[in-house]
Structure 1
Amino acid sequence: MNNDAILCSEVNIEWKNKQGILQRKFNSKKGNLRLVRNENANIFIEIVAEKVAPVKLKLSGISVHKKFMNEGKASIKFPEQNAILYISNAPPGQLLSFLRVIFVKMTGEKPGDNSSNTGSRVKLLSSKPNSFEDISPITNAELARAVRKVAKSSETTPSPLASRKRKIERTSIEKAPAAKRLYSPVPNEPLDIEQQEVLDACLAGHNVFFTGSAGTGKSYLLKKIIGALPPDVTVATASTGVAACHIGGITFHQFAGIGSGEASLERSIQLAMKPPTVAIWRKCKHLIIDEISMVDGNYFEKVEQVARGVRRNDKPFGGIQLILCGDFFQLPPVTRPRPGETTPRPPKFCFQTEAWQNCLLNIFELKNVHRQSDQRFIAVLNKIRTGKVDQDVTDTLLSTAKQKIEKDGILATRLCTHTKDADIINESKLKALDAQAKTYEAQDSVPGTTKQLDQQTSVPSRLELKVGAQVMLLKNINVGAGLVNGARGVVKDFREGFPVVQFRNREYIASFEKWIVKTAGGAALTRKQIPLKLAWAFSIHKAQGLTLDCVEMSLSRVFEAGQAYVALSRAQSLNTLRVLDFKSVQVWANPDVLTFYRNLDHTRLIPLGPVNKFLNKEKTIVKKKMPLKSKLLEKPLVNIC
């Protein structure tokens, strides 16, 4: 069976007469949809649900409304049958694949493939009248025909402004692939073997923590996991607002609803019991937490206790499936001094808590690096990650100090250990430019949310630019053309009010883009702004998750474990990196984190696989073999909801 041609979701079908009066309804909380063909090669959607006869709707002359596809919702109108199919609570990844198959199968048909032109020979050879078979997978020929038809039909007469803008983009991005936005419901590239094993474990219902060095595709995999789970019972969170916005979720603190967590357990439960927080807690079946390394262990433990109290369930986290992602070798939790003290307390990681142990997490470590392709650089980063600096690492990084990485007027972004330093550099450099400034004010959907959107998105509420300004792109616009989040450029001109930016071998006119931030109550805040930010300098904290193609750094003021590693791993390659004053004392790893990962390595029988929880306070770990394939057979993907 072609998995892309099946879907599990909530289903509602309405049949109306020509006057628009409702004649018949079909409702199911758990409906299984699949694409089938009959003996005449007509394509149908077959809907199967418990206690009702299967329904078949012919795909002919349909129209699809897919605006809310990233929320697991879509509707299909069948005019010939006066019916509308409403799909909701579908895993967004499955829904995207399902609609893509419909599109390609219908658009990619050869002339004469439809029922009106089906030859009598096909009908006569059909051995089973009124029989239906599963639709075949998409072929390359069908895909090619669909692409040709879409390209031909898209040739419309644009407005003068749009025409000029497209002309510039066509000449500056010649032969670039069609735009592929990674902030669509789910990314489209296939998973590697390591990533697929993690996804299988999540879909089998296990509590999972997956980790890996920078650039191993953790965020990419997380989006795939989110896209494979039903949205109505899945809550995607992250330790920071920017990380939450990146995965289309909310912050872990927003979800918990207990403020800073300093209140007593009883008071915290009372806070979480307030509507609408309590409704989200009780509805949640799958809780995702990204950048888990930056979640304070004490807070994590408090939230786990609150979960059991609010859900009235004594299982860990009240019976919610946990899917955790992050690298404890990267930035640790931010700690503050206790009352009466001047120095912050040492960070407490989540893996040091009893709650972590009780959750029986299956732990995976991704090994395949996607961000960098230079094996020498990867080897250096792996040593830096664990705090090991030998002579080869030192020589390699010192050799970058004098190399020229600037190109086409694009200067290297300076990574700073402190945010204030980066802000001062950017403001002074912009002020020094002898050119007229142009200001862009963000368009926020809800007045009074500017401060919240500033914290939860990477895009500024007020952007001031001049010709010559060094900028960074904050959206994936065209991956194939190199116009990706973190790409570096310089403003060359302003045309029709928009900045023209020269990236590496690419010129791009930056227009308004949209960022969506979800609230704990399920509402959405939006910000429209030019997807650029001043980039003479950037803080290491705000660069986490980015891939920079022209970066320099001074690590003399590094003040916490993992900070040097996060900074160095932002670089795409050694050829695009300049380290000004490297010393081995700038690199170290937290000893507790080293112990945690060392124990994982000692117990792993294969490079990747699930590992049982810590069994005692000495952090002894035991390998647990899990028959994931058999588990998946018991819980097939189509029945995940």
Structure 2
Amino acid sequence: MDLNDASLSCAITLEWQKNGSIQRKVSHKSALVSLKRNKIRDIFIEIAGDKFVTINLKLKAVTIHNKFMAEGKTSINFKEENCILFISNAPSGKLMNFLKIIFVKMNEDSCKTPPSSKTSLRDQLLSGKLKTYDEISPVTVNDLKKVTDRVAKVIEVNTSPTSRKRKLNDSSTTPPAKKLFRQLTSNTSIDLNPEQKRVLEACVQGHNVFFTGSAGTGKSFLLKRIIATLPPDVTISTASTGVAACHIGGVTLHSFAGIGNGEGSIDRCVQLASRPQVLSVWKKCKHLIIDEISMVEGSFFEKIEEVARRVRKNDKPFGGIQLILCGDFLQLPPIIRRELSNSQNNKKFCFQTKAWNQCVQSCFELQKVHRQSDPEFVNILNNLRIGRVTEEIEQRLLNTAKQKIDGDGILATKLCSLMQDVNTINQQKLASLPGESKIFDAIDSDLSLTKQLDQQTPVPSKLELKIGAQVMLMKNIHVANGLVNGARGIVIKFTDGLPLVKFKNNKEYLVKPERWIVKPPSGNVFSRRQIPLRLAWAFSIHKSQGLTLDCAEVSLKSVFEAGQAYVALSRAQSLETLRVLDFSSQKVWADRDVLLFYRNFRRRLKQLEIIPLGRKKL
């Protein structure tokens, strides 16, 4: 979290209004918005650019609307100047930090006594001192904590039942920085480690980047930080699967490309991508994020690379679009149709294509594991990742079958290879509970897209629950309280028609409907509103990718893909919270082509700029 940079590159619109009508309007696609102080310590927002005169607006009696902050948008209403500043296309992470600085500075100043001045205001105006602006001082994390603690106490006093000071219209008179309090303080940010920072720097510098790493090395966490650093209007976030795309607030790669399943000829694919709505997205895109790149079929990747060049009329690799690719080829592979898998010309993985070698400039491998802290378990997983099972590893995993890992009435979630097995187990367990079921139907913005939303959101269109049902939370609700994606618990009762869940950490939470938004590149926005829960006696290995489970039981009897066993076992936090059933070394293997790719990973210096992270340069 960088709170030192009190400036923002973005698009702006300024509107001066009087009696509800716009008197003057100024818009610029590229501007630098900065926080400044004059000589008597007043705070200003300075708006500067190459093609317009610098404008300074005093941060006093302002209202900040931050509903769309995650989309890089906000507005600041300067009431005394009858002016509204609209900010858009700002990197959401930088916008968050910019508003945090405003939050700190305004609350710091509100608690200070203005310094006395020997010079009158009239003399200062005549001397021009008030028209001289300096950079605002940096904000530290401690500064942020002090201010948030102070504001929290004020809010607690003003909202207590015994307080009569709070008026009915208090929301309109509360200082704007306090309005941001809950949203800003709930987004606690963890600093990147050195290897993650190097990946971020390469992305910011405009390189085509591929970064990989074993399960639990923070790939998704880093990817979200990268997305938050780039301007949203020209950045398209995609993933190979709908759930992975929803996890990063994006769409599937197929949806972005606009060429259907990509099975048509290249001319047909170009024709499909040249439709007005699809073409406009291709042309505006400057940064393309692809998560879970390991599950993107090589021939499809090769096809969209050529489509990009042709529809953008740009002969550079991928039509000049910056690529940021993330994934682990030693986890789940692409799903290939049987007739294509038997073809000698089929290129299963992206790295097997000519397009990969032309597009990818910088490669990184994250090596520090965050999910597991036990060195023995990390070593076992690293061996399983490459398909190596020693006698010691086999015996250690076989011994886990006897472990009692259930507790507090919550059974271990069983990870299964087949979705059919998952549904059978969950339905049988639910049916065995006494009492009536309560059905929660999702509210979809478009009923014709229910099946699509089933694939692109982590919650079902119809959720059946009973008292005693074991469930998993499918969205981060309150990170500090452990109410995070993957937290498991038991429905203990229904209150006001909503499930009250007691989670494994003993926290009770009345689960309210949440909204998932799917934003196709075409601009249409679809949404699903549903209780953020799924039945969790069993879960599929494919859908568990990216989750961290506090207690897991893994059945390997039906494993059918390379890397599938590794993905399942790596969901657990430790060996003590893992129970492995049907373990056999024959169920653990890695694809030979992938092993060769990683073996040559650091030998491809002539084609790629390879930076092995986590090691000091000699």
Indicate whether the TM-score tops 0.5.
yes
Q: Which residue does the alignment assign to 1:284?
A: 285
Of 156, 161, 166, 2:159 maps to 156
The residue type equivalent to 2:329 in the other structure is F
- Residue correspondence of structure 1 range 370-409 to structure 2 within 5 A: 370-409=370-409
Structure-2 separation of matches of 1:86 and 1:21: 16
Structure-2 separation of matches of 1:497 and 1:157: 27
| Offset of residue 147 of structure 1 | 3.2
Structure-1 separation of matches of 2:383 and 2:277: 46
Q: Which residue does the alignment assign to 1:633?
A: none
Structure-2 separation of matches of 1:187 and 1:100: 11
Counterpart contact for 1:425–1:537, Cα < 8 Å: yes
| Offset of residue 600 of structure 1 | 1.7
The residue type equivalent to 1:493 in the other structure is K
| Offset of residue 3 of structure 1 | 4.2
Structure-2 separation of matches of 1:69 and 1:76: 12
The residue type equivalent to 1:71 in the other structure is E
| Offset of residue 109 of structure 1 | 2.8
Structure-1 separation of matches of 2:422 and 2:22: 61
Q: Which residue does the alignment assign to 1:212?
A: 213
Of 117, 121, 125, 1:120 maps to 117
Change over 3 Å in CA distance of 1:13–1:181 after alignment to 2: closer
The residue type equivalent to 2:159 in the other structure is T
Aligned to 1:54, the other structure's residue is in SS state: strand
Matched, 1:78 2:81: no
1:81-109 CA-to-partner distances (Å, cap 9, x unmatched) read: 11110111111111111111111211233
Q: Which residue does the alignment assign to 1:637?
A: none
Q: Which residue does the alignment assign to 2:174?
A: none
Aligned to 1:552, the other structure's residue is in SS state: strand
Change over 3 Å in CA distance of 1:493–1:624 after alignment to 2: closer
Structure-2 separation of matches of 1:335 and 1:344: 13
1:542-585 CA-to-partner distances (Å, cap 9, x unmatched) read: 11111111110121221110000000011111111101232211
- Residue correspondence of structure 1 range 59-458 to structure 2 within 5 A: 59-113=59-113, 117-120=114-117, 129-130=129-130, 131-139=132-140, 140-141=142-143, 143-153=145-155, 155-156=158-159, 188-338=189-339, 348-458=348-458
Structure-1 separation of matches of 2:270 and 2:204: 30
Counterpart contact for 2:255–2:520, Cα < 8 Å: yes
Counterpart contact for 1:108–1:142, Cα < 8 Å: no
Change over 3 Å in CA distance of 1:55–1:206 after alignment to 2: same
Aligned to 2:70, the other structure's residue is in SS state: helix
Q: Which residue does the alignment assign to 1:486?
A: 486
| Offset of residue 344 of structure 1 | 12
Change over 3 Å in CA distance of 1:141–1:268 after alignment to 2: closer
| Offset of residue 406 of structure 1 | 0.7
| Offset of residue 179 of structure 1 | 8.7
| Offset of residue 122 of structure 1 | 9.1
Structure-1 separation of matches of 2:477 and 2:215: 22
Spell out structure 1 runs of 4+ moving beyond 4 A: 121-128, 178-182, 341-347, 622-626
The residue type equivalent to 1:205 in the other structure is G
Counterpart contact for 1:180–1:479, Cα < 8 Å: no
Q: Which residue does the alignment assign to 2:547?
A: 546
| Offset of residue 261 of structure 1 | 0.9
Change over 3 Å in CA distance of 1:261–1:10 after alignment to 2: same
The residue type equivalent to 2:192 in the other structure is L
The residue type equivalent to 2:134 in the other structure is E
Aligned to 2:254, the other structure's residue is in SS state: helix
Q: Which residue does the alignment assign to 2:583?
A: 582
Q: Which stretch of the first structure deviates more once superposed, 119-128 or 546-555? A: 119-128
Q: CA RMSD in A?
A: 2.6
Structure-2 separation of matches of 1:443 and 1:195: 38
1:393-449 CA-to-partner distances (Å, cap 9, x unmatched) read: 222212211111111100011111111111111111111112221111111122222
Matched, 1:501 2:488: no
The residue type equivalent to 1:333 in the other structure is P
Q: Which residue does the alignment assign to 1:166?
A: none
Aligned to 2:363, the other structure's residue is in SS state: strand
Structure-2 separation of matches of 1:570 and 1:494: 30
Aligned to 1:449, the other structure's residue is in SS state: helix
Structure-2 separation of matches of 1:535 and 1:180: 30
| Offset of residue 515 of structure 1 | 1.0
Counterpart contact for 2:469–2:491, Cα < 8 Å: yes
Aligned to 1:393, the other structure's residue is in SS state: helix
Change over 3 Å in CA distance of 1:588–1:472 after alignment to 2: same
Q: Which residue does the alignment assign to 1:617?
A: none
Q: Which residue does the alignment assign to 1:511?
A: 512
Aligned to 1:395, the other structure's residue is in SS state: helix
Counterpart contact for 1:108–1:146, Cα < 8 Å: no
Change over 3 Å in CA distance of 1:329–1:345 after alignment to 2: farther
Counterpart contact for 2:4–2:139, Cα < 8 Å: no
Change over 3 Å in CA distance of 1:60–1:432 after alignment to 2: same
Count of matched residue positions in the alignment of Structure 1 and Structure 2: 586
Structure-2 separation of matches of 1:332 and 1:121: 73
Matched, 1:613 2:607: yes
The residue type equivalent to 1:45 in the other structure is I
Q: Which residue does the alignment assign to 2:172?
A: none
TM normalised by structure 1 equals 0.87
Q: Which residue does the alignment assign to 1:632?
A: none
Q: Which residue does the alignment assign to 2:169?
A: none
The residue type equivalent to 1:210 in the other structure is F
| Offset of residue 391 of structure 1 | 2.3
Counterpart contact for 2:210–2:360, Cα < 8 Å: no
| Offset of residue 203 of structure 1 | 0.5
Change over 3 Å in CA distance of 1:128–1:588 after alignment to 2: farther
Change over 3 Å in CA distance of 1:157–1:515 after alignment to 2: farther
Structure-1 separation of matches of 2:51 and 2:508: 59
Change over 3 Å in CA distance of 1:563–1:181 after alignment to 2: farther
Counterpart contact for 1:40–1:123, Cα < 8 Å: no
Aligned to 1:206, the other structure's residue is in SS state: coil
The residue type equivalent to 1:283 in the other structure is K
TM normalised by structure 2 equals 0.90
| Offset of residue 110 of structure 1 | 4.8
Q: Which residue does the alignment assign to 2:616?
A: none
Change over 3 Å in CA distance of 1:430–1:276 after alignment to 2: same
Structure-2 separation of matches of 1:365 and 1:306: 29
Aligned to 1:299, the other structure's residue is in SS state: helix
Change over 3 Å in CA distance of 1:344–1:523 after alignment to 2: farther
Where does the alignment leave 5 or more consecutive residues of structure 2 unmatched?
A: 162-180, 614-618
Counterpart contact for 1:36–1:135, Cα < 8 Å: yes
Q: Which residue does the alignment assign to 2:563?
A: 562
Structure-2 separation of matches of 1:547 and 1:74: 33
| Offset of residue 343 of structure 1 | 10
Aligned to 1:423, the other structure's residue is in SS state: helix
Change over 3 Å in CA distance of 1:547–1:569 after alignment to 2: same
Where does the alignment leave 5 or more consecutive residues of structure 1 unmatched?
A: 159-177, 604-610, 615-621, 627-641
Alignment identity in percent?
Answer: 56
